[in-house]
Amino acid sequence: MSAHRPFVQFMDLGLIDYKKAWDYQTLIHNKIKEHKKNLPNTTTSQNSLIFCEHPPVYTLGKSGHINNLQYSSQELDEAGISFYKINRGGDITYHGPGQLVVYPIFDLELFRRDVHWYVRQLEEVIIRVLQSYDIQAERIPEYTGVWVRGNPDRKICAIGVHISRWVTLHGLAFNVSPNLKHFQGIIPCGISDASKTVTSIDKELKQSINMTVLKNKLKAVFREVFQFEYKIEQ
């Protein structure tokens, strides 16, 4: 880990097509890797934290099973939901409006070279933000992500990452106020256990959530948990 706090550039892309956002974060990811190749001992990687939302889309991770996609091609078309096989870890998940998707593109050599630590830190960010809404969320050891425990246990944030040369790609999907019916087209994260389901902040609180306020909280907690400084553009 660097002796100095890393700098991170923040971006909010708003509602953006999944493939367009994937291409954009891949471009940043590759630039950091190229920078590290040319300057092996660099302490100046251009870390980025990207917030966005996507039109309805299912994404299947490289370790996922296509059978966890329950909809046929015709049903996908009728529902207006896209589908992509992608290079993150994990199984299948859903993204859509009302779900805040976060892509941290971090050079972990400036933070901590530990994949397990990184995923636990992502979970910690969400747990702390939910505490500010008086939602008690936690980890379930055998499942990645953040959960509200109960009967059933309810997943409120999914996490799936890809790391190359210690540079992170992809990230987390935080259910704020998405259309939860769209999760019916998949077996979310490949978890078929009847005691597990999905939820969102607005469902738990039974009230609407101000997305701008939530984004500001999330941005602050990311800085707190990962111990970095935001880069201020001149």
Residues that are catalytic: 189
Closest CA to 154 of 204, 202, 198, 200: 198
| Dist. CA 135–CA 140, nearest whole Å | 16
- Distance of CA 9 to CAs 136, 188, 223, Å? 30, 31, 11
| Dist. CA 172–CA 191, nearest whole Å | 17
Residues in CB range of 158: below 8 A, 6 or more apart: 90, 93, 144, 145, 172, 173, 188, 189
* CA angle (196 as vertex; 190, 200 as ends), nearest 5: 100
